[in-house]
Amino acid sequence: MRRRCFAEFLGTFGLVFAGTGAIVINQVSGQAITHVGIALVFGLVVLAMIYTFGDVSGAHLNPAVTTAFAVAKRLPWSEVPPYLLAQTGGAFAASALLRALFPAHTTLGATLPAGPVLQSFVLEVVLTFLLMLVILSVSTGAKEKGITAGIAIGGVIALEAMFAGPICGASMNPIRSLAPAVVSGQVQHLWVYLIAPVAGALLAVPACCGVREPGCCGSRTA
């Protein structure tokens, strides 16, 4: 468990440092990375972390994913708290380092709605629902299977960030939003990014059960 939690810490650190760091650097460099570049950074860093830590901890990197795995009976509930603590530690370490590197930056890549709050809430629910559906479909237990899992998951993250990022930020991850928001003090509308991703991930569990074989998400034959 110690190694698995350390893997979650390092993986989440990498995700938040590269992903939100791309947002920060894009803003301070005159849009050199571009929105498409930011979306690709998020997708590619998740892909890399899955191939690096997937066989150790599953590379969840996301409290919503960990919680959904537990609900789907693919992860013991006793392992959820240490996973969440490790993810939280990794995310806050990344945001703290970005604050030290860019002390004048106001948001540090925090997610903020560009339009109505309800619009962003619904988008985050749907985006995380689709992401979790893919994760459940390419994983066995709480770990990824095969060489294509990282490509599928990273690709979905990049795709969703590319088309929905300008409106809602395409967080799909409570801790990815919490850490930069708290460190930068941009906590307005934070509840959207704490509740919506978890709701979307949980909705994906029964949806996956509806299309996959009995027992895939803790279900049983009648």
Domain containing 128 — which CATH number?
A: 1.20.1080.10
pTM: 0.92
List the chain pLDDT tens, one digit each, 222 residues. Answer: 999 999 999 999 999 999 999 999 999 999 999 999 999 999 999 999 999 998 899 899 999 999 999 999 999 999 999 999 999 999 999 999 999 999 999 999 999 999 999 999 999 999 999 999 999 988 865 555 556 788 999 999 999 999 999 999 999 999 999 999 999 999 999 999 999 999 999 999 999 988 876 656 654 332
Task: Tell me, yes or no, whether 222 lies in a domain.
Answer: no
80 domain residue, yes or no: yes
Name residues whose C-beta falls within 8 Å of residue 36's C-beta, 6 or more positions apart in sequence. 162
| Residue 216: inside a domain | no
Instruction: Answer whether residue 221 is part of any domain.
Output: no
Does residue 89 belong to any structural domain of this protein?
A: yes
For 71-96, give the DSSP string. Answer: HTTSS-GGGHHHHHHHHHHHHHHHHH
In whole angstroms, what is the distance from residue 87 CA to residue 92 CA? 9
**Overall number of domains in the chain:** 1
176 inside domain: yes
Asked if 113 and 192 touch (Cβ cutoff 8 Å), the reply is yes
Side chain identity at residue 75, one-letter code: L
163 lies in some domain: yes
* Containing structural domain, residue 74: 2-211
Q: Is 182 among the domain residues?
A: yes
C-beta pairs of 31-40 under 8 Å, 24+ apart in sequence: 35/162, 35/165, 35/166, 36/162, 38/161, 38/165, 39/158, 39/159, 39/161, 39/162, 39/165, 39/170, 40/158, 40/162
